[in-house]
Amino acid sequence: MHSSPAGRQYAVGLAVLTLLAMASLAIGSRSVPVAQVVWALVDPDPGNDLHLLVRELRLPRMLLAIFAGAALGLAGAVMQAVTRNPLAEPGLLGVNAGAAIAVVLGASGFGLTQMAQYVWFGFLGAGLAGGAVFLLGRAHESGTNPVRLVLAGAGVSVLLGAAANLVILNSGLEVLDLFRNWGSGALDGRGWAVALTMGGALALGGALALILAPGLNAMALGHDAGRALGLRASRFWALACVSVMILAGAATAAAGPIGFVGLVAPHIARALAGPDNRRVLPLSALFAAAVLLGADIIGRVVAAPAEVAAGIVAAILGAPFFIHIVRRFRVARL
């Protein structure tokens, strides 16, 4: 029996992600032989410093990159599907900026410096900012004008970004030092608590997104067609916003405001799997996880022994793709 194209895509994606995961555990300021990486995972020796390096520092960092990347990929795929906008993604539509300002306010105003504390601010900020952009861009009415929605997202992002910078500059050195690293999208030093919290948010928001996949297919036909198929638009929009809020809010709280990952992955998934969101969503999660993990690895290599934050590398890689999408898609109401 021959495997289906979708099955081969998942298999290839998982193989690439597995190779990147092993590279993430082996590559860094101190290289770890692959054999030692394997032994650290299957039979750890507490007295071996290489095993401690792999298990206590690099393993949670690798899992965080996978979980945060998958969350951004799912959030981007949901946003693109529900708005029928090829340019939609959490970073471009203000969701990341909303989560960022909320986290900044939580840390500076309430002294919340642990993710388990400020993640709830990230959820709230992502939801409020995303709702504001959707309303300003009138996406709930048509969702088909990329320019209007992106301009609304850019305006909200600039406003919230300026507010975040104002708060940070007027905060103490402890808050400034925290956000100097977090704001660039660096993944190092987060630890197991952050990785596991991000994993829980991915499980919750991802499950909701996958449940919505058939409805996203109906929405792709247009709001009128969706209603004709029995889809309750207002309830569906609310659930989609909750899913994006959980996914993008948690990813931003955990890893910082990382852009373009949620834009690139859904386009790759649709190019390979077609328009069916039941296949696009899981593939988007898989590809986005690989993109962010790859960006983190590249950041360790290009400036070794120093590091470039994964968020910066992702922006450098994603910006040309964004320009390509803008040039390729006809910017007009469909």
**Mean pLDDT in residue range 252-256:** 86
What the block records as the tokens of 261 is 């990952």
Q: pLDDT category, 68, cuts 50, 70, 90?
A: very high
User: What pLDDT, on the 0 to 100 scale, is given for residue 291?
Assistant: 94
Predicted confidence (pLDDT) at residue 255 exceeds the cutoff of 70 = yes
Q: Is the entire prediction scored with pTM above 0.85?
A: yes
Q: pLDDT category, 25, cuts 50, 70, 90?
A: very high
Half-sphere exposure of 80 (CA within 13 A, CB side): 29
**Domain harbouring 264, CATH code:** 1.10.3470.10
Candidate from 23-27, 65-69, 107-111, 213-217 with smallest mean pLDDT: 107-111
**Mean pLDDT in residue range 244-261:** 87
**Mean pLDDT in residue range 84-93:** 79
Predicted confidence (pLDDT) at residue 334 exceeds the cutoff of 50 = no
DSSP string, 257-314: ---SHHHHHHHHHHHHH-S-HHHHHHHHHHHHHHHHHHHHHHHHHTTTTS---HHHHH
Q: pLDDT category, 140, cuts 50, 70, 90?
A: low
Q: Per residue in 49-62, pLDDT tens?
A: 999 999 999 999 99
CA 77 – CA 280 distance, rounded (Å): 7
User: What pLDDT, on the 0 to 100 scale, is given for residue 109?
Assistant: 84
Structural domain contains residue 119: yes
Among 4-18, 27-41, 166-180, top mean pLDDT goes to: 27-41
**Mean pLDDT in residue range 100-106:** 86
Structural domain contains residue 30: no
Predicted confidence (pLDDT) at residue 139 exceeds the cutoff of 90 = no
Structural domain contains residue 46: no
User: What pLDDT, on the 0 to 100 scale, is given for residue 53?
Assistant: 92
Structural domain contains residue 39: no
CA 123 – CA 71 distance, rounded (Å): 13
Q: Per residue in 211-245, pLDDT tens?
A: 999 888 887 766 666 666 667 777 787 788 889 88
Q: Per residue in 162-189, pLDDT tens?
A: 998 888 888 777 777 777 777 778 888 7
As a whole number, the mean pLDDT across the chain is 84
User: What pLDDT, on the 0 to 100 scale, is given for residue 236?
Assistant: 82
Predicted confidence (pLDDT) at residue 143 exceeds the cutoff of 60 = no
Q: When comparing pLDDT for 141 and 91, which is higher?
A: 91
Structural domain contains residue 59: no
Q: Where are the alpha helices (DSSP H) in the chain?
A: 5-26, 34-42, 49-52, 59-83, 95-110, 115-136, 146-169, 173-182, 191-219, 223-228, 233-255, 261-273, 277-301, 310-328
What the block records as the tokens of 18 is 């597995």
Structural domain contains residue 12: no
Q: Is residue 172 classed as helix, strand or coil in its secondary structure?
A: coil
Range of the domain at 150: 64-328
Structural domain contains residue 280: yes
Predicted confidence (pLDDT) at residue 332 exceeds the cutoff of 80 = no
Number of domains the chain is built from: 1
Candidate from 52-56, 149-153, 246-250, 281-285 with smallest mean pLDDT: 149-153
